[in-house]
């Protein structure tokens, strides 16, 4: 199904029948993880003689799900992730389609760290609202990796400032955080992107733990950023890319 989307300065065409899902799902006792907590648990309900599992004789499958959105699977977070005042990611998006640029990078070695720095990122295309960063190496292991205590790559504060100044509202990456795993709570990249100290950006979001397969080439896309309707600083999300069609 071909459809047109009117942006502020142009109209683009996409094929809705060709979605490119770059999310990682929450899985029972598996999947990607981070931040030193147990894996997600999806377990059927047993109450007052009712068993919520058809395979055990129940009439329906009826599961409780225990997970942390920051640790398990693709998630989108808002300014409320780092503020005393509560802000919900459920209120952060005024629309869901965004012109997006996908960029692949190999982080720079800085001592014991791997850092995504400004010189690795090309000039952004016109009218881009969102950026997706895919880091190399891009192995299948990313789909199941537990990042706890592994000192993953992170994003330099100056690059996040540059993205903010370029008008990027939504930043996505295939790592558990834009900041260093153990930074004593500095959270410099988060704070720079959300402009915490000067004019906090309530409608800007950061999405972490995406996975972009190798067959998706760098370039421009329309992104449908789908977020679970949960009143929290972060929620599971499903970003879907659509290639732009020639006019």
**Mean pLDDT over residues 103-115, rounded?**
98
Write the pLDDT tens digit of every residue in 115-144: 999 999 999 999 999 999 999 999 999 999
pLDDT of residue 240: 98
d(CA 181, CA 155): 11
User: So what's the pLDDT on residue 7?
Assistant: 83
Beta bridge partners of 227: 237
CATH number of the domain located at residue range(s) 2-25+69-245 in this protein: 3.50.30.50
CA angle 7, 10, 16 (to 5 degrees): 60
Model confidence, pTM:
0.96
Tell me: pLDDT of 1 over 90.
no
Q: How far apart are CA 54 and CA 8, in angstroms?
A: 50
How many Cα neighbours within 13 Å face the side chain of 64?
7
Q: What is the pLDDT of residue 10?
A: 85
What DSSP line would sit under 116-130, residue for residue?
E-GGGSPPPPTT--E
Report the pLDDT value the prediction gives residue 135, as an integer from 0 to 100: 98
Q: Which H or E element spans position 198?
A: none
Report the pLDDT averaged over residues 182-196.
97
Which pLDDT score, from 0 to 100, does residue 77 have? 98
Cβ atoms within 10 Å of 89's Cβ, excluding its own:
27
Contact 171, 160 (CB under 8 A): yes
Average pLDDT estimate for 1-15: 85
- Residue 152 host element (H or E): none
Cα 72 to Cα 182: distance, rounded to the nearest angstrom: 18
Give percent of the chain with pLDDT exceeding 90. 94
State which H helix or E strand residue 86 sits in. none
Dihedral angle, C-alpha 155, 156, 161, 162, nearest 10 °: -90
Mean pLDDT for all residues in the chain: 96
pLDDT tens-digit readout, 46-78: 999 999 999 999 999 999 999 999 999 999 999
Domain residue ranges in the chain: 2-25+69-245
């Amino acid at each position: 199904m071909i459809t047109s989307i009117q942006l502020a300065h142009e109209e683009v065409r996409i094929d809705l029948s060709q979605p490119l899902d770059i999310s990682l799902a929450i899985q029972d006792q598996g999947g990607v993880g981070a931040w030193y907590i147990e894996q997600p648990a999806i377990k059927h309900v047993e109450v007052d003689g009712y068993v919520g599992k058809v395979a055990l004789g129940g009439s329906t499958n009826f599961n409780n799900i225990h997970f942390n959105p920051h640790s398990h699977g693709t998630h989108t977070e808002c300014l409320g992730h780092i503020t005393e005042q509560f802000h919900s990611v459920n209120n952060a998006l005024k629309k869901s389609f965004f012109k997006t640029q996908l960029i692949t990078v190999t982080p720079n070695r800085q001592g014991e760290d791997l850092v995504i720095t400004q010189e690795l990122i090309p000039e952004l295309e016109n009218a881009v609202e969102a950026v997706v960063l895919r880091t190399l190496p891009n192995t299948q292991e990313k789909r199941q990796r537990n990042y706890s205590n592994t000192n993953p790559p992170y994003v330099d504060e100056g690059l996040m400032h540059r993205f903010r100044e370029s008008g990027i509202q939504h930043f996505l990456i295939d790592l558990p955080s834009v900041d260093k795993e153990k930074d004593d709570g500095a959270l410099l990249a988060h704070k720079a992107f959300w402009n915490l100290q000067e004019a906090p950006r309530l409608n800007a979001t950061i999405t972490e733990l995406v996975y972009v397969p190798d067959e998706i080439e760098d370039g421009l896309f329309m992104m449908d950023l789908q977020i679970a309707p949960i009143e929290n600083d972060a929620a599971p999300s499903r970003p879907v890319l659509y290639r732009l069609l020639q006019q």
